[in-house]
Structure 1
Amino acid sequence: MGFYDLNKQERLNLVAEINKNIFAELASADLKETTLYFADEDTYIRKSAYLAIGKIYIADAPLRPAIISALEKLFPEPDFKIRQTVINAAGEIGKTDFERVKHFFDKGLFDEHHSPRNAVIGSIKKMGEINPVPVLEWARSYLHHQDKEIRREICHGIELRGRKYPQDILPLLQELQYDKTARVRNTLVHVIGQISYKKGCIQTVVAHLKLWENQQLVQAALEEIIDVHDRYKDFAVLTQDQARQYLEDHL
């Protein structure tokens, strides 16, 4: 029976049981139940497990070394779901203590399976939104990696921080303006659009784009900004026509 096949109270009871069992196993270093949760076919069971790790890490400082040790013990497991859940758990910890878990992301970026790699990107998003300074510093170190997929994933991963604070990620995006891979450039243009439609954001984005040298890419980004104001018209501060007019007035 899946997580959402249970009624609300049953789900609450299950989450409490998962928290209780993981807490007990962290204290004893016996990770039998924890491993089963991390490998569960139901994504919501796995999510409950990695959220439990994050909560315990925040609430119980003496257990923190044991938590890091447990994640390091589970990380080499052949089941990609376990590695994915380890990275997601590290992402919860990295919201407040990125230095303790960044080695999981260094390795996870190069995982042979796409699910752990996607977990890295998801974790960068959630950590970068809350704990941007160390996360963006780490991301910058991979901006010019020889693997184009790494560059693309990092570009995508820093997007969420930019939706509220585009000024934090625009200098990193600027470093990719001459990337030779179309897939990376397309992601760059996409991210510029995504960080342009909330209150005050188009002004910050346009002011920064004026400093960019690659006018062909800037033009593509401007078209994406106009387009995104239509695609996200229910959430955008400006209408598409207002966004188009703003660009005409300021560029």
Structure 2
Amino acid sequence: MAFYDLNKEERQLVVNNIYEDCLTSFERKNLEKLLVHFSNEDTYIRKTAYQSVGKIYNSNFRLQKDILVYLKELLENENEKVRQTTINSAGEIGMYYFEDVISFFDIGLFDDHHSIRNAVIGSVKKMGEKNPKPVLEWAKNYLHHEDKEVRREICHGIELRGRKHPEDILPLLKELQFDETKRVRTTLVHVLGQISYKKGCLQKVVSHLNTWKNKALVQDAIDEIVDVHSEKRYAKFTALTQQEVIRYIDEHLQISKNNG
């Protein structure tokens, strides 16, 4: 039976049992039970497992060194679900101890399987929101990587921090403004739209775009920002109406004025 086919009390019992299985695996240095959960077909079982690992790491200092050793071993497992859950476990740890798990993301970025690379993106999002300084410093190292997918993944990964603090990621995004790869450019425009619609964010995004040199890219970003504020997108969640956004851009975007 799938996790969400259970009632609330049954789900809590499963969560408690998975936590105990993970803790016991580390304490007894036997990963058999841990692997059962890490490889489970049910996404929510795997999520419960990697969240449990994060909780155990954060509350059991004596186990931290061993946990990292075991996770490094699991990162080489042939099962992509195990590797994916391992990266997500590292993401839980990295929200507070990013320096301990940097190597996991250096490896995961180049995994052959897309689910592991997606787990890196998801982890960078949640780590960047909670622990931005070291995570963004790490991300800078990959902004100009020769692999276009790495550049795209980094761009996507830093998005969540930008939704509340666009000023933290705009300098990194700016470095991608002349990227010639379509997928990178599309992701960049998407992220600029996503970090524009919360209260106080549009002003920061527009102000920063005034310093960008790629006018065609800026115009694409502006089109996306306006569209994000439309009824078909996020109008129910935006701080400003679409008309207010258009008016603000017309008044404050210097590039549009320079293009006359």
TM-score range normalised by the length of the shorter chain: over 0.9
| Structure 1 match to 2:163 | 163
Measure how far apart 1:147 and its partner are. 0.7
| Superposition deviation, residue 250 in structure 1 | 0.7
3-state SS in 2 of match to 1:95: helix
Equivalence for 2:258: none
Which residue of 1 is the match for residue 45 of structure 2?
45
1:72-93: per-residue Cα shift (whole Å, max 9, x none)?
Answer: 1111110000000000000000
CA displacement at 1:234 relative to structure 2: 0.3
Structure 2 residue identity aligned to 1:11: R
Does 2:97 correspond to 1:97? yes
SS of the residue 2:77 aligns to: coil
Displacement of 1:123 after TM fit?
0.2
Aligned letter for 2:9? Q
Q: Secondary structure at the match of 1:149?
A: helix
Match runs of 1:24-63 below 5 Å: 24-63=24-63
Aligned match for 2:243, one of 241, 244, 250: 241
* SS, match of residue 101 in structure 1: helix
User: Unmatched 5+ residue regions in structure 2?
Assistant: 254-260
Question: Number of matched residues?
Answer: 251
TM-score (ref. length: structure 2)? 0.95
What are structure 1's unaligned runs of at least 5 residues?
Answer: none
The within-5 A match list for 1:1-251 is 1-230=1-230, 231-251=233-253
Decide which moves more: 13-22 or 117-126: 13-22
What SS does the aligned partner of 2:119 have? Answer: helix
TM-score normalized by structure 1?
Answer: 0.99
Find the residue that maps to 2:211 and give its secondary structure: coil
Superposed CA RMSD in Å reads 0.7
- What secondary structure is seen at the aligned counterpart in 2 of 1:238? coil
Q: Measure, in 2, the Cα distance between the counterparts of 1:43 and 1:250.
A: 45
Cα deviations by residue, 1:75-115 (Å, 9 ceiling, x for unpaired): 11100000000000000000000011011110001111110
Post-superposition CA distance 1:10-29 (Å, at most 9, x none): 11111111111111110111
Distance in 2, Cα, partners of 1:126 & 1:190: 18
